[in-house]
Chains A and B, each alone.
Chain A
Amino acid sequence: MADGNVATGLSQDDDVLNEAAAWRADGTNVALATVVSTWGSSPRPVGSHLAVNENGKLVGSVSGGCIEGAVVAEAMEVMKNGKPKVLEYGVTNELAWEVGLACGGSIHVYVEKVE
């Protein structure tokens, strides 16, 4: 997975997108986080989703737990200002250690608002 290439094959994430769509249809603000690249040992493959709504409800995951808290905080921001953002967590990033990506990998997460 050195170049972040991951065969998708079997999607497990349909329920995340369905939930995000349902929240949005109810008029709730929603942000969607997607793993867009990974290096080293990242627990979730490229294309994994985490959806967050304005009430702080979550569905899905982008890391198996280690960076979810930080991603949710960023997602709340993106929900407010509507500007998409690429987040980077990894061994070269001190913040990543603080938020606990101790699994030794590095990931990029794209966060966008569902308009």
Chain B
Amino acid sequence: MKQETLKQLLEDQVAKKAVALATDIDSGEQTLIYRDAASGPDAEHGEILSITRQSILDDRNKVHDVGGRRIFIEVFNPPLRMLIVGAVHIAQPLSRMASVTGYDVTVIDPRASFATDERFPGISLNGEWPDDAMRELDPDRRTAVVTLTHDPKLDDPGLEVALKSDAFYIGSLGSRKTHAGRVERLSAAGFTETEIERIHAPVGLDIGSISPAEIAVSILAQITEVLHRKIEGRAAA
């Protein structure tokens, strides 16, 4: 690998720009490929470009046979994101554990006394109302959304935007009774049953969690399961 190629990859990671490296593993030639640009010997190779751009979308590293050449495609996507609505107690361990796991975490809460740097050191905080914040942060298929406030005034607007997005995971804290009320409100707001079923509620895997940190473990475990097993709709739990 050329030193400049390595430097460029690292710069793109800092800039949170999706890029992939296509390596001919017999010749060693390498091409950097972006969604809308490419540089290197295969920068004009239509098949390699299209395979690579699909790999960026699928987050997959793989060796492909391209006209008898072995091309290794390695994707360098920006980190997965987690958007947490509610700077509540559970959000403290959840945001830290998710950061360690590799997520780029943002905690959304318009209540200034909750969303403080003291309570969430090193975590991005967003003080907008959850629907505005969610629209601005624009969850995509590499984003998990978790609402934790218990307060429909805050959770519902965030959920309404999340349900219209491609977020790979949506979870919402609250008992079955709380969730039944939520389902009613979302139905009244025009969401279909299938859309509402995307919400994991009660949130997290059922592992008997009691403390906020244990609940965070169950939520992160469920998100991990959905991420890697690509479970459709509600989790197996």
Contact = CB atoms under 8 A, between A and B. Distances in A.
Contact of B9 (A3, A17, A24, A110): A17
Chief secondary structure at chain A's binding surface: mixed
Contacts of A21: 3, 6-7, 10
Q: How large is the interface on A (under 10, 10 to 19, 20 to 34, 35 or more residues)?
A: 20 to 34
Nearest to A7: B59
Given A4-B63, A6-B60, A9-B227, A110 B102 contact: no
A113 to B, nearest CB: 8
Given A37-B62, A110-B23, A10 B101 contact: yes
B147 to A, nearest CB: 22
A20 B59 CA distance: 23
B72 interface: yes
Q: How large is the interface on B (under 10, 10 to 19, 20 to 34, 35 or more residues)?
A: 20 to 34
A7 B75 CA distance: 10
B2 interface: yes
Contacts of B75: 8, 47
Contacts of B227: 7, 9
A81 to B, nearest CB: 12
Interface of B: 1-3, 6-7, 9-10, 13, 23, 25-28, 58-63, 70, 72, 74-77, 79-80, 101-103, 142, 227-228
Interface of A: 3-12, 14, 17-18, 20-21, 24-25, 32, 34, 36-37, 45-47, 83-84, 86, 108, 110, 112-115
